[in-house]
Amino acid sequence: MWSMNRPVRASQLVSGTTRQETFAALLDVGGFPEWSSGLSRMRLLDGATRMEPGVSMEFTLSAAGFTHKVVSTITVLQAPQLIEWRYAKGAVGSGGWKVEEAGPDTVRITFWTDYEVKPAWLNRISHRTFFRGVAEDLLRRSMRRLGERLSEAGDYRPSTSSSS
């Protein structure tokens, strides 16, 4: 049976990098908009300077003519393998990133999220076939761009962008 709010999951193999370098990129809040398609801004809230359990972050999504802000709270951070969050505002649900070794100098990055957008009218629109397709395409593109950035960079260097 089809569910409007079905979970999203994507994985990407990346060669030429380590779990530590990949995890550093995922912790680099200011660098997210450089590789994450459809994400125009991301910042830590309440004066936080790094991701850790209990820290909230706000991200601004812009796609298909809509802009929407979502706040999430980090619930699990286990370096260099796992980040999980719970949506606190603009959506309900949860998501995460997992980084696994997949061979010599190769990692598998997996993103997942299960959410319902708030308000309800935007949730209905966001799960229509066209908009869901756009979101899934942006996710695949983001995973490829992160992989390319990690493969080309060698040792990952944090963004010079501000995260506030």
Give the count of beta carbons closer than 10 Å to the beta carbon of residue 160.
8
pLDDT of residue 155: 53
Decide the pairing of beta strands 91-103 and 39-44. Answer: unpaired
Residue 8 and residue 64: Cα distance in Å, rounded?
Answer: 18
- The second-level CATH assignment, the architecture, of 8-153 is 2-Layer Sandwich (3.30)
**Domain map of the chain by residue range?**
8-153
Residue for token pair 């990098």: 17
Question: How is the chain classified by DSSP, letter by letter?
Answer: ---TT--EEEEEEEES--HHHHHHHHH-GGGHHHH-TTEEEEEE-TT--S--TT-EEEEEEEETTEEEEEEEEEEEEETTTEEEEEEEESEEEEEEEEEEEEETTEEEEEEEEEEEESSHHHHHHHTSHHHHHHHHHHHHHHHHHHHHHHHHHSS----SS---
Instruction: Summarize pLDDT for 109-120 with one digit per residue, the tens.
Output: 999 988 888 888
Instruction: Summarize pLDDT for 128-160 with one digit per residue, the tens.
Output: 777 777 778 888 888 899 989 888 765 555 555
The amino acid occupying position 113 is T
Instruction: Summarize pLDDT for 45-100 with one digit per residue, the tens.
Output: 999 999 999 999 999 988 777 888 999 999 999 999 999 999 999 999 999 999 99
Q: Which residues contact 124 (CB under 8 A, 6 or more apart)?
A: 4
Q: What are phi and psi of 121, to 5 degrees?
A: -65, -35
